[in-house]
Structure 1
Amino acid sequence: MSVRELAKEQTPKQVRLGPVGWLRWGWRTLTSMKTALILLFLLALGSVPGSLVPQRGVDPDKVARLYEQSPALAAWYDRFQLFEVFTSTWFAAVYLLLFTSLIGCVIPRAATYARELRRKPPAAPKNLSRLPHFASFESDLGVERAAARLRGQRFRVVTGDGWVSAEKGYLRETGNLFFHVALLGILLAVGFGSLYGYRGNVLVVEGDGFANTVAAYDRFIPGSQVSAESLEPFSFQLTDFKVSYQVTGDKKGQALDYSAYLKVNDSPGAPARDYELKVNSPLEVDGTQLYLIGNGYAPVFKVTDGKGQVAYEGPVPCLIVQKSTQTAECAVKAPDAQPSQLGFLLRFLPTSVPLTDGTYTSAFPGALQPEVQLFGAYAGDLGMRSGKPQSVYEVVPSELKDKIKPVLMGTAATKPLAVGQSLELPNGAGKLEFTGVKEWITLQTAYDPGRMPALVSAATAVVAIALSLMIRRRRVFVRVKGDGTVDVGGLTRTEGSAAGFAEEFADIVKFLSAGEKDVR
């Protein structure tokens, strides 16, 4: 046999895992602590865009504004589901993998912990001086008295022929296990809330009301187990909305406080009650919470068509384009106008002031001198009867530009209309009158049955991690010799806690060596 053949025979053959082996390897990798920490980090990292990028379920107005200001960037955000982070596919994948990983961690840990609870401390070593902590003293202390004193210090004690073995600090493993169980509880609570909870957004104008029904929402996001009958049947009317602003200093115009005054009916037929809704004081009705998340202006218009009939009259919510001054844009549509439908594109100025170049702007967010400025008046088919959805902030959809003709166009220098003033359209096409100003608020309704379980689980996790970090697992051994010498040894089972155990060990030795009267 040649050297090459001999080397070939002695070379170990590579063992192939096979399908079962790869599955076992994948499961062990997924359920390892390292993988769980990586997934937890990814979940936290994935939550960051949910705080930085406006979410459709929380602030749809900001999402619409981003589409107008940066359509290319908004398209990329939408492509990666950044407008709906917490319901996105990639966030759900990380969530489910973390859930599976935690289950795989908790079950073996629970079995190990159960075995540890039944396990007795080991017998004392013969030579205690080799332990990290050691002391020796002369005493008539016997095995039974030493065991009794250690039990009084909440040690788990086992005795033998001339020796005592004691251990304490089992709560460290308890804290570790409960921390993982609490994390699993948080994930379960979040999942339960997403199945049986719902969220919705609605815009309400002063003087209008709202009933908690699916049809009343501007945007409704139900869980998969939520039906129309699941909603609490409460209602309210927005009687007034007030905002206070800073009027002097460098922060002039900054909002100081928001208050929405509601008349709330907790159920059909229930008496109305007054409630002041504020940003940090949500309205709660049987577990359903109502949050104030935005506000703006809704100027009131009256549109008269070419035949002298009132084609539209009412408030029109405006989309804010400049937050610092509450400058906003409105679209007024009159689909019932004759002989042709009318549409108006307007800009609302809460405190209108003229500039030196002839244009107009708003100098303050409060409605001190409200005016509206016409940017365009259109006549033709607005497409509102086609059944296709349209933006309420857009007058002329791109696909209908050929069917609509401009009647009157304006610029930033067009003289605005004050309350009570009107504008006649050319050729008797109609008239637009600015009759008043109201305010609107946007509300988010949230029902999350997993909220309290998540809170309890989070509190449990905090307590559990504190136990895991603060408690040390330690052992104390005592050997009573025939010549009256008592040897005491100690060690810790927690890495890095030897220094902290030295003082406690000295106290234990002092307690064991004390006389019977001193102990009492």
Structure 2
Amino acid sequence: MSVRELERESSPGKQAGLGAAGWLRWAWRTLTSMKTALILLFLLALGSVPGSLIPQRGVDPDKVARLYDESPALAEWYDRLQLFEVFSSTWFAAIYLLLFTSLIGCVVPRALTYARELRRKPPAAPKNVTKLPHAAVIDGGPSLEEAARRLRGLRFRVVTGDGWVSAEKGYLRETGNLFFHVALLGILLAIGAGSLYGYRGNVLVVEGDGFANTVAAYDRFMPGSQVSAESLQPFTLRLDDFTVSYQVAGEKRGQALDYTGHLTVNDTPDAPARDVELKVNTPLEIDGTQTYLIGNGYAPVFRVTDGKGQVAYEGPVPCLIEDKATMTSGCVVKAPDAQPSQLGFLLRFLPTSVPLTDGTHASAFPGELNPEVQLLGAFSGDLGLRNGQPQSVYELAPPETLKKLKPLLMGTAVPKPLAVGQSVELPGGAGKLEFTGVKQWMTLQVAYDPGRLPALVFAGLAVVSIAASLLIRRRRVFVRVKGETVEVGGLTRTEGSAAGFAEEFADIVKVLSAGEKDVR
């Protein structure tokens, strides 16, 4: 029989394992360890990276839609991994909650230990203080009471005994360490409060149109779990004008320099109107609700006349940007009320249209210098708008419906681009499309986050606390009076700070050896 077999037979109780309670204690200690907290903090920061690099549905849904068009397979994987909604994903919430729990497990024991440490007096001086890392002997030094008084003047905590003085300083180092953890916990609480009681919403507004801060007015609305329709601040705004300035010469020609939305705002239904200039980094703030300018584009104005001579549609059509450098945009016009059959148009808007050598046209500049519209295709038939299924305004019809439409103008039959004021007649007397003008649109993100200011305060506290934790040293000074000789010794309790303490210790010795009239 082997030695291990004999050990098993002689001590069978030891093979029972940790048990359920033991495993729970082990899991809790592992979760609340500093190493685990740092790993979770790193994972939280790492998990935020995709939220900055990959377009988010809550911030820029147009880019998400464009990514689906350009790389549908990649977009599908992003969606499966919840990378289009990183900060509301289940995996990000799991990291957040684990970090929150870990910090609570770190902070509470540290706070209790720190409270006991504050009540603890400095230890008694050793018998031979000259053997400490820093030591000095003063002939004809101060008395015991005078040494204690001078050390208190240097803001040391002082305890006296029979022929000795013990002083300690640097408790703020532990205070900074504790407050840093408290600040991290506060940041997580602030983020959690913003998720519960805050909301975000996106809306597209065309020049001349308005917006009321109601749930029904949003194109996309993402409320916290504790948000109701009555929680929204009842302000309204109207986009009077939108201007964009571009670089007109040099290597950066066409680069946008400034965006300005000229708004008329009513803070409440009874409040007087006021004029506001909305810029990219200057949000409109009303009672804690912030409105950001996050995008812009063109909305050419069209008039559709059906086969019976009736105006079936008239108004601006927001276009989806296809090329950011030139603001070439794709537009879809739908006329569901056209008779005898519904009409639909696929168009491309060119802000500054120029002819190319092959006879086609393209936009050479993002500004509105020579706006024209290319008619890519005209269709008639049932667009599927009345079957109860939602449709995108940037899509003419679902693929199964699009196959059933009758093409009226396609390919080489499409006329040259239309300038403002020009029109195209549809074959067979089906109707007419007129290009009557150009407006601009802007996309807004309206956000209310009650945790925003607390998060800023706790972030500032974290910076100050970690600076205090790194810069302040915990140190002790001991004094023994032996007749006319005063022995002084000192040491630091912070690893790696002995060199910095040497100069401070020399200054302490000077204060202790100074005459009565030299000491304030």
1:515 paired with 2:487, answer: no
Match of 1:367 in 2: 368
Q: Which runs of 5+ in 1 are unaligned?
A: none
- How far apart are 1:2 and its partner, in Å? 9.8
- How far apart are 1:205 and its partner, in Å? 0.2
1:403 aligns to what SS in structure 2?
coil
- How far apart are 1:296 and its partner, in Å? 0.3
- How far apart are 1:55 and its partner, in Å? 0.5
1:345 aligns to what SS in structure 2?
strand
Match of 2:254 in 1: 253
Q: Which amino acid aligns with 1:189?
A: A
Q: Is the 8 Å Cα contact of residues 391 and 397 (structure 2) preserved in structure 1?
A: no
Q: Is the 8 Å Cα contact of residues 360 and 412 (structure 1) preserved in structure 2?
A: no
Q: How does 1:265-280 map to 2 (within 5 A)?
A: 265-280=266-281
Q: What does the per-residue CA deviation read over 1:414-450, in whole Å, with 9 as the maximum and x for residues that have no partner? A: 5101011101111011110000000000000000001
1:295 paired with 2:302, answer: no
1:244 aligns to what SS in structure 2?
strand
Q: Which amino acid aligns with 1:201?
A: N
Q: Is the 8 Å Cα contact of residues 8 and 15 (structure 2) preserved in structure 1?
A: no
- How far apart are 1:8 and its partner, in Å? 6.2
Match of 1:154 in 2: 155
| Residues 1:475 and 1:304: Cα distance change in structure 2 (over 3 Å) | same
Q: Hey, what's the Cα distance between the residues in 1 that align with 2:354 and 2:412?
A: 15
1:504 paired with 2:517, answer: no
1:136 aligns to what SS in structure 2?
strand
- How far apart are 1:387 and its partner, in Å? 1.4
- How far apart are 1:401 and its partner, in Å? 2.9
Q: What does the per-residue CA deviation read over 1:426-485, in whole Å, with 9 as the maximum and x for residues that have no partner? A: 101111000000000000000000111111111111111111111000000001013x11
| Residues 1:140 and 1:354: Cα distance change in structure 2 (over 3 Å) | closer
Q: Hey, what's the Cα distance between the residues in 1 that align with 2:413 and 2:148?
A: 92
- How far apart are 1:411 and its partner, in Å? 6.2
Q: Is the 8 Å Cα contact of residues 176 and 465 (structure 2) preserved in structure 1?
A: yes
Q: What does the per-residue CA deviation read over 1:471-509, in whole Å, with 9 as the maximum and x for residues that have no partner? A: 000000001013x11111101111111110000001101
1:70 paired with 2:71, answer: yes
Match of 1:145 in 2: 146
Match of 1:475 in 2: 476
1:36 paired with 2:37, answer: yes
Q: Which amino acid aligns with 2:199?
A: Y
Q: Is the 8 Å Cα contact of residues 175 and 467 (structure 1) preserved in structure 2?
A: yes
Q: Hey, what's the Cα distance between the residues in 2 that align with 1:223 and 1:302?
A: 41
| Residues 1:398 and 1:2: Cα distance change in structure 2 (over 3 Å) | closer
- How far apart are 1:400 and its partner, in Å? 0.8
Match of 1:438 in 2: 439
Q: Is the 8 Å Cα contact of residues 141 and 513 (structure 2) preserved in structure 1?
A: no
Q: Is the 8 Å Cα contact of residues 375 and 411 (structure 1) preserved in structure 2?
A: no
| Residues 1:361 and 1:413: Cα distance change in structure 2 (over 3 Å) | farther
Q: Which amino acid aligns with 2:278?
A: L
Q: Which amino acid aligns with 1:150?
A: L
Match of 1:166 in 2: 167
- How far apart are 1:94 and its partner, in Å? 0.2
Match of 2:212 in 1: 211
- How far apart are 1:269 and its partner, in Å? 2.1
Q: How does 1:107-506 map to 2 (within 5 A)?
A: 107-410=108-411, 414-482=415-483, 484-506=484-506
- How far apart are 1:410 and its partner, in Å? 3.4
Q: What does the per-residue CA deviation read over 1:87-120, in whole Å, with 9 as the maximum and x for residues that have no partner? A: 0000000000000000000000000010011000
State the Cα RMSD in Å.
Answer: 1.6
Q: Hey, what's the Cα distance between the residues in 1 that align with 2:155 and 2:374?
A: 80
Q: Which amino acid aligns with 2:508?
A: I
Q: Is the 8 Å Cα contact of residues 332 and 343 (structure 1) preserved in structure 2?
A: yes
Q: Is the 8 Å Cα contact of residues 360 and 413 (structure 1) preserved in structure 2?
A: no
- How far apart are 1:510 and its partner, in Å? 1.1
Q: Which amino acid aligns with 2:290?
A: Q
Instruction: Report the TM-score when normalising by structure 1.
Output: 0.97
Q: Is the 8 Å Cα contact of residues 327 and 366 (structure 2) preserved in structure 1?
A: yes
2:445 aligns to what SS in structure 1?
strand
| Residues 1:274 and 1:480: Cα distance change in structure 2 (over 3 Å) | same
- How far apart are 1:130 and its partner, in Å? 2.0
Q: Which amino acid aligns with 1:450?
A: G
Q: Is the 8 Å Cα contact of residues 377 and 414 (structure 2) preserved in structure 1?
A: no
Q: What does the per-residue CA deviation read over 1:4-38, in whole Å, with 9 as the maximum and x for residues that have no partner? A: 87666678945611000000000000000000000
Q: Is the 8 Å Cα contact of residues 374 and 411 (structure 1) preserved in structure 2?
A: no
Moved over 4 A (4+): 1-15, 411-414
2:303 aligns to what SS in structure 1?
strand
Q: How does 1:16-31 map to 2 (within 5 A)?
A: 16-31=17-32
The count of corresponding residues between Structure 1 and Structure 2 is 519
Q: Is the 8 Å Cα contact of residues 396 and 404 (structure 1) preserved in structure 2?
A: no
Q: How does 1:72-87 map to 2 (within 5 A)?
A: 72-87=73-88
Q: What does the per-residue CA deviation read over 1:288-323, in whole Å, with 9 as the maximum and x for residues that have no partner? A: 000000000000000011111100000000000000
Q: Is the 8 Å Cα contact of residues 359 and 413 (structure 1) preserved in structure 2?
A: no
Q: What does the per-residue CA deviation read over 1:347-374, in whole Å, with 9 as the maximum and x for residues that have no partner? A: 0000000100111100000111100001
Q: Is the 8 Å Cα contact of residues 128 and 488 (structure 1) preserved in structure 2?
A: yes
Q: Hey, what's the Cα distance between the residues in 2 that align with 1:508 and 1:319?
A: 72
